[in-house]
Structure 1
Amino acid sequence: MTMHLKKADSQMHKAPSQKNKKNTRGSKKTFRKPAGDKHPVIFWCKECNVPLIKAECGSCGGDVLEVKLSGTGDIRFCSPYEREVLGDLLLSEYGCDPIGLHMVLLNKIPGDDKTDEVIVDGLKVGVLLYDMYRMAHRFEPSEIGAQLLHALIDSKTVVLKKAGAHLNGKKVKAGFLESFSVDIKKGDPVIVVSGKLVGSGIALCDSDEMGRTEGPVVRVRKVMGDSMALNAKVSSMDDVVNANLPHLRQIGKNAMNTIKGIANQKEYRNLPVHVSFSGGKDSLVVLDLTLSALKNRDVSAFFLNTGIEFPETVDFVHEYCEKRGIELTEAKAGNAFWDNVESFGPPAKDFRWCCKVCKLAPAGSVIDRCTQDGGVCLTIDGKRRYESFSRANIAASEKNPFVPDQLNIFPIRDWRAIEVWLYIHWRGLEYNPLYDRGFERVGCYLCPAELSAEYERLREIHPDMYERWNDYLLKWARSRGLSDEYVKHGLWRWKELPPKMVILAKELGIDTEQVSVDEDFAIVLTSGFSPCREGGYTVEANVSGVLLSEAAAVMNILGATVFSEDLGMLLVRTGADSVKFFSSGSLKVTAGSEGDARELLKRTAEQLMRVNKCTECGICLKVCPVNAITLGSEKGKLYISDECIRCGRCTEACVVLKYSDRLLSDVLDLSSKATRSSFE
């Protein structure tokens, strides 16, 4: 299709023209963003028809447009699979694909699941999303996309009787319709035409009802009168790389300087360097940068195999390093995930116990070997601040709080996804084939951070892996009185559902209330908080799932302990407060005030749960400053000696206690009215 760009998108601003300026030596073209404009942006060269990271085309130096982006602006190139999905939707819904061979960019924006702005030739033509109600992809054209489609087809179209200047956001009744196509279903995105105005809307009923109903039949999103068209030039990836080459060289140089600036410091210059190579795009770029920056250093790749990786990822990591003669160290978590999932339940976005069990524990064992002669383990990591809010403030380097002997360096922390991909294409790097098959991320295949759209791809590509995980989820949900729809719509991915998922569940009629489940570990309160005759407050409970000897092995962390196996009693004193635990499972907590009693009960419950659910991952061993912890000895699975200084570091690092608030809510019986208020 050969259309010319007639007018810039209203969401685009023209950068200062360089056409009449001479390119003299030492001159520098600059672009100034409007004061107070904090929107992320990308630029577009009109002449070359390519996206630009900076407001200057490295190929022609011509006119540049600014495109404001929604969300964080972590824009990327559309993958072959995503392009296929988009094309199929356009053909099935509208009977044509006006985008043709033009390059497509996707910009992640907020949504229920996978949701991306679709940008073509610098124009926002619509949104490609995964519909959590239909569990299928959908394309919603913008007013610009509607214009491109309207120039070619008359399907999915509603024509209004007269033009109106204030249609945007309005609902239109049947009486205002002049005509409409017969292929419209309720909820469909539609093209809205009103005189010379063309835009997008949503159908509020089927086409066979539009002539009969008295209520509104379509909601107009936005219409516009300017005629929009695509650029006649179809650019290639080589064109994009060449236009951005000056910027790529600069950010590559900056990243290598970050690596060299830290790795060559006097205290680190003689240490081996490991690149954390996950098989993903970011770690691939960091590996290439590190090998270029530290040509005379001992650089190896470190792959943490969680045991729940995609087979494509495992193969890619090994093959990539083998082809290039890169030393590869692989730490394997083995069956750690499946060994612990029955105890913890499925991981969730707000309950990622799997990361510590499957990542930190095996990583720590490798780092121990690297630092056995003292010093630290230098690790170059590909984390970027655009990936998530939790990574927004990444420093150039930082110590791992759970693995103190590891120093992480983050050379591409400020890069956006498009810069990562441009670097990969510039350097001609092979990358994980999963990116071309519809996966935006290539981590663990059952990660709760996976989108439902990606789980659907897992089902198609690896049905056996999908079935094993889905069968577990269905069994887990049914045991808690939850429906299969709860699993189907991905609600298991949160311990506490966010508002958008609560709305989704309500509209789909999915019950989200779980029935209580008998666990091997439980604490049932048998009395409320009440004053003692001797002073202070006391509360009593019954504990199951923890032996007295197991409790005695860890309670040094709370205070001085006295354990009498003959009497079947454990006494813990923390100042003037005390905890008594009996072989029968009875627990009594006494403190000076009701608030102190509540806090001491909570701390006691945490440590008892820690004993019951300990995975022996070894993270607590590494953070203990006095070596007071042992695992798997004759003293028990977890043992804290009298050397404990009660600093609390092992509590902060423990995977169980990191999510104690969520886990305790599953095991504490709050049915007693007297005790309910104490934990709410």
Structure 2
Amino acid sequence: MQSTIYWCRQCNVPLYGNRCSRCGMEAKKLTTDVRPVFPEERLLIEIILQKPFEFLKKSVWNGTGNHYFVDGKKIAFSVKELKKINADEVRRQYEKYSTQNTYCYFDEMTGRFIEANKERYEYITQEAGNYIRKAVGEFGAMDMFVSFSGGKDSTVTSNLVLRALSTPQIMHIFGDTTLEFPFTYTYVERFKKNHPKTPVISARNKEKDFEELCKLIGPPSRVMRWCCTVFKTGTIQKKIRSLYRDKKQILTFYGIRRSESVSRSKYERESDSPKITKQRIISPIIDWMDFDIWLYILTTGIDFNDAYRLGYARVGCWCCPNNSGWSEFLSKVHMHEQSKHFREMLIDFATSIGKEDAEVYVDDGYWKARQGGNGVAYAQKSVVSFTPCVTEENSFNYELQRPISEQLYELFRPFGYLNFDMGNTRLGEVFVLDKREQIVLKLQGRIGTTNLRVTILKTEIAGAKDLKTAEERIKCQITKYQMCMGCLACESVCRFNALSIRENKDGEIEYHISDEKCKRCGECVNHFTAGCYMRKVLAIKRQRTEDKE
């Protein structure tokens, strides 16, 4: 795909090609991608520049690198300088002038933009529609769904799919992280109302509260985005498995685009899901630019999330540590109370872990770079203390931080089949057998105590080939037992739907592995560092006497 956007000086709009099909004039190079600046964002920029309505009748666009162009010329506007600006005063000015704002000139400009790029619109729309119809093949409407976030990309993907397949009855799964913009929730409700025949199902983790987890393990950072696992990935995968349990194969339409990030630039347009064996993933707009997305939305006139009108370039979680400085400033203006509350929560956390100047730590964005669980009390649960047994070979004594319960044994199912009858019940002995009913592990520890002895009789457990690796696999499961807070990471890793995690009415995490479905592949044991996703998030520096890891 071409990645150069041109500017027509006659029509005063950006073009995909170097000659305007509306007026015939040759265009000049502008940038590599652009998005329209709606009147709401335009007014905010004018207020920041202390020039209200300066650009009212002009053609304003935002290009690659967050540069603003007015009538094809880049203006001086620095996001870094926003720290020096009083967001509360800007908000008051915005509220004062917003009633005088108008879409009149913007609509005239977008009309020229649509006409000048109609050939591009026809090409991308026809190509995507043909691709969707070909990719669907023999799949029926009940065997597919659209992954719907409420953002512009999934909105366009949804519209393309419904148009291409000429049916409204295609499931949409909305991944509700509970941290969506308020504008997103409003838009999703409008979407449901405007598409009464399209089923829209929400995937939401109702058992977890973001703020409570932030207090327990600290807020997510750019390198520790535990929120994605707890509130998005695991929950959506669980919903998919529940809805399509009896389907032999399912088709998923994603709004992913390669231009969004370096990691996504490597994605294929069509692929098999690495997490659900029967899921085929289709990405119809994978090569579209922002330019194409907005050309499609403005040409078709379809409804979209109002957050984009305000200037947000993306609409994931509103408090994401990956959000830009511009996005944070927008939230201070348009989501004043939420932003204030979130900042106070971050300051409280910074104080709790001993930061000397908590406000500077928060306001300068250092919280976004946080790594590990140093200073976080819950992180101590990741420590697995043990000593080799002097009376029995290949036997290890573990001092657990959580009393032994029946839940501990569930975590040993990936190693084999539990047998509660062969051992000495007075000593709390439980054996783990392989398919040939030979003992591979012996567990010894009474319910309610914290002393557990594990004897390794065969090292071929969960993919291990030697004693040291087998010992590490066991420590993985003990770490899970001590740290599990129901993040659903393990459940999303299992490709065979053998693992289920839920919180019971008493607030306790119940971890269950099906003997019939489990293949003993060991993926759930060894997928994450030390076996547990939260262990990775809360890694801490330890003394050697505490842990031999």
Equivalent residues in 2 for 1:364-379, closer than 5 Å? 364=237, 366-368=239-241, 370-379=243-252
Residue number in structure 2 paired with 1:566: 426
In 2, are the aligned partners of 1:74 and 1:386 still within 8 Å (CA)?
no
CA distance in 2: counterparts of 1:522 and 1:656, whole angstroms: 9
Q: Could you report, residue by residue, the CA deviation over 1:295-343 in whole angstroms, capped at 9, with x for unpaired residues?
A: 1473343323232222321121121331343423222425444177155
TM-score w.r.t. the length of structure 2 is: 0.77
CA distance in 2: counterparts of 1:602 and 1:80, whole angstroms: 59
2:523 matches 1:649 = yes
Match of 2:45 among 86, 93, 104: 86
Residue number in structure 2 paired with 1:484: 359
* 1:331 partner SS: strand
Residues 649 and 135 of structure 1: is their aligned pair in 2 closer, same or farther, counting only changes over 3 Å?
Answer: farther
In 1, are the aligned partners of 2:432 and 2:441 still within 8 Å (CA)?
yes
CA distance in 2: counterparts of 1:526 and 1:271, whole angstroms: 52
CA distance in 1: counterparts of 2:374 and 2:243, whole angstroms: 46
Of Structure 1 and Structure 2, which has the larger fraction of its residues in helix? 2
CA distance in 2: counterparts of 1:587 and 1:665, whole angstroms: 25
Residues 293 and 318 of structure 1: is their aligned pair in 2 closer, same or farther, counting only changes over 3 Å?
Answer: same
* 1:392 partner SS: helix
In 1, are the aligned partners of 2:147 and 2:254 still within 8 Å (CA)?
yes
Amino acid at match of 2:35: R
2:288 matches 1:288 = no
Alignment RMSD, CA only? 4.3
**Displacement of 1:75 after TM fit?**
2.8
**Displacement of 1:41 after TM fit?**
2.5
Residue number in structure 2 paired with 1:671: 543
CA distance in 2: counterparts of 1:430 and 1:554, whole angstroms: 48
Match of 2:10 among 27, 30, 47: 47
In 2, are the aligned partners of 1:402 and 1:653 still within 8 Å (CA)?
no
* 2:426 partner SS: coil
Equivalent residues in 2 for 1:245-644, closer than 5 Å? 245-263=118-136, 265-266=137-138, 268-269=139-140, 271-296=142-167, 298-333=169-204, 335-338=206-209, 341=213, 342-364=215-237, 366-368=239-241, 370-482=243-355, 483-496=358-371, 514-515=374-375, 517=377, 519=379, 521-523=381-383, 525=385, 542-545=399-402, 547=404, 549-558=406-415, 566-568=426-428, 583-585=449-451, 600=470, 602-616=472-486, 620=490, 624=494, 628-631=498-501, 637-640=510-513, 644=518
In 2, are the aligned partners of 1:367 and 1:405 still within 8 Å (CA)?
no
* 1:91 partner SS: coil
In 1, are the aligned partners of 2:4 and 2:33 still within 8 Å (CA)?
no
Amino acid at match of 1:45: C
* 1:389 partner SS: coil
Residues 621 and 480 of structure 1: is their aligned pair in 2 closer, same or farther, counting only changes over 3 Å?
Answer: closer
Residues 99 and 465 of structure 1: is their aligned pair in 2 closer, same or farther, counting only changes over 3 Å?
Answer: closer
Of 631-640 and 349-358, deviating more is 631-640
2:21 matches 1:58 = yes
**Displacement of 1:120 after TM fit?**
3.5
CA distance in 2: counterparts of 1:655 and 1:315, whole angstroms: 39
Residues 99 and 329 of structure 1: is their aligned pair in 2 closer, same or farther, counting only changes over 3 Å?
Answer: closer
* 2:49 partner SS: helix
CA distance in 2: counterparts of 1:129 and 1:598, whole angstroms: 52
In 2, are the aligned partners of 1:130 and 1:136 still within 8 Å (CA)?
no
2:106 matches 1:236 = no
In 1, are the aligned partners of 2:483 and 2:535 still within 8 Å (CA)?
no
* 1:76 partner SS: strand
**Displacement of 1:452 after TM fit?**
4.1
Amino acid at match of 2:404: L
Report 1 or 2 for greater relative contact order, CA contacts < 8 Å, sequence distance ≥ 6. Answer: 2
**Displacement of 1:588 after TM fit?**
7.5
**Displacement of 1:589 after TM fit?**
9.0
**Displacement of 1:577 after TM fit?**
10
In 2, are the aligned partners of 1:397 and 1:409 still within 8 Å (CA)?
yes
Residue number in structure 2 paired with 1:102: 58
Residues 648 and 343 of structure 1: is their aligned pair in 2 closer, same or farther, counting only changes over 3 Å?
Answer: farther
Residues 559 and 610 of structure 1: is their aligned pair in 2 closer, same or farther, counting only changes over 3 Å?
Answer: same
**Displacement of 1:557 after TM fit?**
2.5
Q: Could you report, residue by residue, the CA deviation over 1:155-179 in whole angstroms, capped at 9, with x for unpaired residues?
A: xxxxxxxxxxxxxxxxxxxxxxxxx
Residues 623 and 640 of structure 1: is their aligned pair in 2 closer, same or farther, counting only changes over 3 Å?
Answer: same
**Displacement of 1:411 after TM fit?**
0.8
Unaligned runs of 5+ in 2: 88-106, 460-464
- Identity among equivalent positions (%) equals 25
Q: Could you report, residue by residue, the CA deviation over 1:361-401 in whole angstroms, capped at 9, with x for unpaired residues?
A: 44345434543442333332211111122211222223333
* 2:5 partner SS: strand
In 2, are the aligned partners of 1:375 and 1:405 still within 8 Å (CA)?
yes
TM-score w.r.t. the length of structure 1 is: 0.63
* 1:544 partner SS: coil
In 1, are the aligned partners of 2:153 and 2:255 still within 8 Å (CA)?
yes
In 2, are the aligned partners of 1:548 and 1:570 still within 8 Å (CA)?
no
Q: Could you report, residue by residue, the CA deviation over 1:175-201 in whole angstroms, capped at 9, with x for unpaired residues?
A: xxxxxxxxxxxxxxxxxxxxxxxxxxx
Residues 664 and 86 of structure 1: is their aligned pair in 2 closer, same or farther, counting only changes over 3 Å?
Answer: closer
CA distance in 2: counterparts of 1:86 and 1:461, whole angstroms: 14
Q: Could you report, residue by residue, the CA deviation over 1:39-97 in whole angstroms, capped at 9, with x for unpaired residues?
A: 94221223333211122322122212223x4xxx44322343442343234337xxx99
Greater Cα radius of gyration, structure 1 or 2: 1
CA distance in 1: counterparts of 2:341 and 2:425, whole angstroms: 44
In 2, are the aligned partners of 1:74 and 1:108 still within 8 Å (CA)?
yes
In 1, are the aligned partners of 2:155 and 2:304 still within 8 Å (CA)?
yes
* 2:175 partner SS: strand
In 1, are the aligned partners of 2:34 and 2:61 still within 8 Å (CA)?
yes
* 2:224 partner SS: coil
Residues 477 and 576 of structure 1: is their aligned pair in 2 closer, same or farther, counting only changes over 3 Å?
Answer: farther
Q: Could you report, residue by residue, the CA deviation over 1:450-501 in whole angstroms, capped at 9, with x for unpaired residues?
A: 334433433443344334434433333222112232223333234439xxxx
In 1, are the aligned partners of 2:502 and 2:509 still within 8 Å (CA)?
yes
